[in-house]
Structure 1
Amino acid sequence: MRLSNRNKASLYNFINTLLLMMVVLGIVSFLANEYRFNVLKNESYLLILVPVLMLFIFHLNGRQIFEYDSDGEALNFKNRNIIPFLNTPLYDEFPKYKLIKYDVITILFIKRLYITISSKNNGSTVLKYQISYLTGKEVNDLKLSLNKVVKANKEKKD
């Protein structure tokens, strides 16, 4: 099964650009209010605070683009940001038989995928992916696919 939200990259770029423009416009409006008009008094700080907070929340959700491929004998996970220099992209590929378990953690609007795989050195390794920008249907499809792999691995061990 293949799962990707790469086609939404242009939407995420648009939102990021819009938020950056709102920050710049908020700074200009703040400066104009402070030095020229002085209409808003202390509320003028909201002109900067609200857009910066929205931009912070957008990037707090994590990497926007998530790709998953379970076709063949390997599992492929890719997780990257729309701004290349902001975070290092994650790319992991490992055989299906190494998958031990997975967890999807949701806290408010932040979703994370934790994959536990068997490792020769430590016994197991946890891989972390940010899936906040996947829709509910995409997350359910991902869970269904990973459940199949985990179930097949448990049957092989028994």
Structure 2
Amino acid sequence: MTSIPLDSPWDPNYPIARNQNPASLTRHDILSILSSGQKPGEDFILIDLRREDHIGGAIQGSINIPAQTLYPTIPALYSLFSNAGVKSVVWFCGSSQHRGFRAAAWFDDYIQSRGNEEMRSFRLHEGIKGWATGGAEFTQRMDGYVKEAWD
């Protein structure tokens, strides 16, 4: 069992999530979802938690919500996603071991507090680094991909 890192520099003023083991999806899981015709922003949400450090590119269809602004916006995001019928929210950062992990856990806590049994919160295992180094089938689904940034 992986625990949420408690020393992330961007979140010391926010609570520790109750969920200490948020669900994750691999890059292959996401690729399979995309290959089935589901679209980010319509059928599920991909959230890139990096600030403006999109060096090397971003996964197509992802939206950027910097981790430093996330916690206070969770109720509004939940309301937007719920009203839009979103069933899955996938969070990621560079490696999804800190920001992505914490975000998935916090959002899952909020989903549970609302009694919603249909929506799920996931972290992208290995984050954008895993995606960008996974091969051409992944990099062709990136905007602004720069190979040298991932070497």
Tell me if TM exceeds 0.5. no
Shorter-chain TM band: under 0.3
Q: Which has the higher contact order (CA 8 A, sep 6+)?
A: 2
Query: In terms of Rg, which structure is larger?
Result: 1
TM-score, normalisation: structure 2? 0.28
Q: Which structure has the highest helix share of the two?
A: 1
Counting strand residues as a fraction of each chain, which structure ranks higher?
1
